[in-house]
Amino acid sequence: MWTLAVIGLLVCMSGAFIRCAHGDTVSRLVALEAGSSMCIMILLALGEAYHRVPFVDLALTLALLSFGAGLVFARFLERWL
């Protein structure tokens, strides 16, 4: 059940990959943010599928870091890049 959810989320991530590959700069940032939230859920589901609690720690860390990274990218794209 959890492995199927991971496969489903990976398929959903392909949409974000395509938008990341083709699109203007800010569109790619939006796709990155979407991909990050999908990745967080994949890690959570993998942790449940294989009963590994450290994967959930990874998901929490990714949630924190992707928030900060998204803000930094947005600020840089607004001002300097």
Partner 1 sequence: MSVGEVAAGTLLLIGVASFAFTSIGLLVSRNVYDQIHFLAPGSIVGSLAICAAVVVHEGFSQSAAKAILIVILLLISNPILSHATARAARVRRQQKLPLKAADD
Q: Confirm or reject binding of residue 27 to partner 1 (CB under 8 A).
A: yes
* Cβ pair 33, 20 in contact under 8 A: no
Closest separation in Å from C-beta 19 to partner 1? 5
Q: Which of 73, 15, 6, 68 lies closest to 39 in space, CA to CA?
A: 6
Q: Confirm or reject binding of residue 3 to partner 1 (CB under 8 A).
A: no
Give residue for tokens 């967080």.
40
Q: Confirm or reject binding of residue 49 to partner 1 (CB under 8 A).
A: no
Q: Confirm or reject binding of residue 26 to partner 1 (CB under 8 A).
A: yes
Closest separation in Å from C-beta 51 to partner 1? 9
| Amino acid identity for residue 19 in this structure | R
